[in-house]
Structure 1
């Protein structure tokens, strides 16, 4: 495959807005620090544990696909 690979985009901000939830509240519900949540939501994370993804989905009442998407750019 030629060219650069796409990237995974994290849309936590979108779900936070839809749920009218603050970042601090989400971090507390998920059990991670606000700093680590910021790394994830700003797209700087290199990986995410499935347990963290599941906790995010539970706290935001959503599916993984609501939080993550592939961008071919």
Structure 2
């Protein structure tokens, strides 16, 4: 998936544990781990807002887009 989740980077910068962040935003550590590890298929804006408040950051600090590497997009000679 070309969307990369960088919650772990912000956790390290803020010296915060997954459990503390989960408590701060009102979700279970298991659900936060799903999001943090990039396995979530969607994220609610309310969750993204809570993450930004708790981590004092912008959405772009947590999510970024990287193009998918695909042999179909590479021209052949």
* Aligned pairs (5 A) from 1:21-60: 21-60=16-55
Measured on the aligned residues, the alpha-carbon RMSD in Å equals 0.8
Which structure: larger Rg? 2
Aligned residue number for residue 9 of structure 2: 14
- Structure 2, unmatched stretches of 5+, are 69-77
Greater than 6 Å deviation, 4+ residue runs: none
- Structure 1, unmatched stretches of 5+, are 1-5
Q: Calculate the TM-score normalised by the size of structure 2.
A: 0.86
Number of equivalent positions: 68
Measure the CA separation in 2 of the matches of 1:43 and 1:29.
20
